């Protein structure tokens, strides 16, 4: 789909974590395509990311919104590679205005998208974007509902119609908790991250993906 | 996904039409990959299919459940090519038991799938299967709800969880009517087909895809 604005969602956990990092004063979050690329990245940076959910060896940070909420990141440049979210951001980068959306910045992300005539929601999904992930779609539902309230004549595609039908807050929270990846994260000790990711509008910063050096970085709007 | 059974849905209109054709006594519905292949098919057959919704030139039948409900098809072999549904059936063919599901045979299709330990629902979608179609997903929701009632401990993937959340009959009918392809069909004069496709369990025959000659055909179970 060609749009003027892309809202990219990987609520568990990359787009949530990026919002928290920028809200806490990180200078930028460079998004790169692989852990290897993050490792090779030069300069005074913090490395963040995950491999099967866990902080990769030698990295400074994982992909955890609870960790991001207390880590010393103010003024720091961060380089980040995750399995799904950063790749989804890179897939949209350069095609229009690109924002990282999640529940912690839901209203702010919807307000940013409402400035554009044609918006697409890109759910990161799982297995490097090849499979559907319920948690991202649930957030897409809440985003669509928020956008529809501010634009009553909004035209919707079939996916957005479905999202809207699921876009009620209690239902969406239940879907996030029920999602396969949420159950995996809870089983390996990241239950607190799920609860942090569910805190609606708790970090109202909209990461905006812009060209940075030879790549792309999420910056505060 | 690897499954023992595949329920393929193209409710507007191929899997609906195939159920009606077989319920009305057609001997088999050969599914082929293109209109050209249907044209080249030899022997005493009726050719059925569509191109942008309409009956292709030289074909005996379109892809219309209302037409199928009155056409002289008893005992006839039919060769069928459509944009999405027949290709979805071919994509699943040979991977397990494959059934054509729709609203007109919903309960019967669910009962057929309930015989298997692991079932996948394959929504045909639109644009040759590359895009999401709301109407097929709505039927997937009702199918999942029906299966979940007969198997309370059913394990669900993320897609099936979402389908189940949407699997209430009035909501699903509304989704079918609101879908982009339904609006297109209504706009070009096929509104009666949409209403026919919405008649729950009206043609309780489950088309089963089996090897036939060098290809695949939908047959009565």
Contact A215, A33 (CB under 8 A): no
Q: What is the pLDDT of residue A47?
A: 98
Question: pLDDT at residue A29 above 80?
Answer: yes
Contact A178 B161 (CB under 8 A): yes
CATH topology of domain A5-220: putative 2-phosphosulfolactate phosphatase (3.90.1560)
Average pLDDT of chain A is: 96
Q: Is the pLDDT of residue A141 over 90?
A: yes
Strand partners for A9: A101, A123
SS3 A47: strand
Per domain, the residue ranges of chain A are: 5-220
A7 touches chain B (CB under 8 A): no
The per-residue pLDDT for range A66-82, each reduced to its tens digit, is: 999 999 999 999 999 99
pLDDT-based confidence at residue B105 (cuts at 50, 70, 90): very high
User: CB pairs below 8 Å between A and B: how many?
Assistant: 46
Q: What is the distance in angstroms between the Cα of B179 and the nearest Cα belonging to chain A?
A: 6
Percent of chain A with pLDDT over 90: 90
Q: Are B124 and B85 in contact (CB under 8 A)?
A: yes
Query: What residues have CB less than 8 Å from B82, skipping those under 6 apart?
Result: B10, B14, B49, B50, B63
B214/chain A closest Cα distance in angstroms? 32
Mean pLDDT score, A30-34: 98
The rounded mean pLDDT for chain B is: 96
> Chain A residues with CB inside 8 Å of B171's CB?
165
Contact A165 B158 (CB under 8 A): no
- The reported pLDDT for the residue numbered B1 is 57
Band of residue B166 on the pLDDT scale cut at 50, 70, 90: confident
Compute chain B's Rg from CA coordinates.
16
Give backbone dihedrals phi and psi of A17, rounded to 5 degrees, phi first.
Answer: -60, -40
The interface predicted TM-score of the complex, written ipTM, equals 0.90
Burial pattern A101-136, b for ≥16 Cβ within 10 A else e, equals bbbbbbbbbbbbbeeeeebbbbbbbbeebeebbbbb
Does the pLDDT at position B39 exceed 90? Answer: yes
Instruction: Tell me the residues of chain A between 180 and 219 that have a Cβ less than 8 Å away from chain B.
Output: 180
Strand partners, B220: B207
Q: Is the pLDDT of residue B125 over 90?
A: yes
């Amino acid at each position: 789909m060609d749009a003027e604005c892309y809202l990219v969602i990987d609520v568990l956990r990359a787009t949530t974590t990026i919002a928290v990092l920028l809200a806490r004063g990180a200078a930028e979050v460079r998004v790169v395509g692989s852990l290897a690329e993050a490792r090779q990245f030069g300069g005074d940076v913090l490395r963040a990311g995950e491999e099967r959910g866990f902080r990769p060896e030698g990295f400074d940070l994982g992909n955890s919104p609870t960790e991001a909420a207390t880590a010393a990141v103010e003024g720091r440049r961060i380089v980040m590679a995750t399995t799904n979210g950063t790749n989804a951001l890179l897939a949209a980068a350069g095609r229009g205005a690109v924002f990282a959306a999640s529940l912690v910045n839901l209203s702010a992300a919807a307000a940013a998208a409402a400035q554009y005539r044609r918006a697409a929601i890109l759910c990161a999904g799982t297995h490097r974007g090849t499979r559907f992930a319920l948690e991202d779609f649930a957030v897409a539902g809440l985003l669509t509902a928020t956008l529809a309230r501010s634009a009553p004549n909004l035209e919707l595609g079939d996916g957005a119609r479905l999202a809207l039908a699921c876009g009620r807050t209690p239902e969406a929270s239940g879907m996030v908790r029920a999602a396969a990846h949420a159950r995996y994260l809870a089983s390996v000790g990241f239950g607190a991250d799920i609860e942090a990711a569910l805190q609606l509008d708790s970090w109202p910063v909209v990461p905006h993906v812009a060209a940075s050096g030879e790549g792309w970085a999420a910056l505060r709007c």
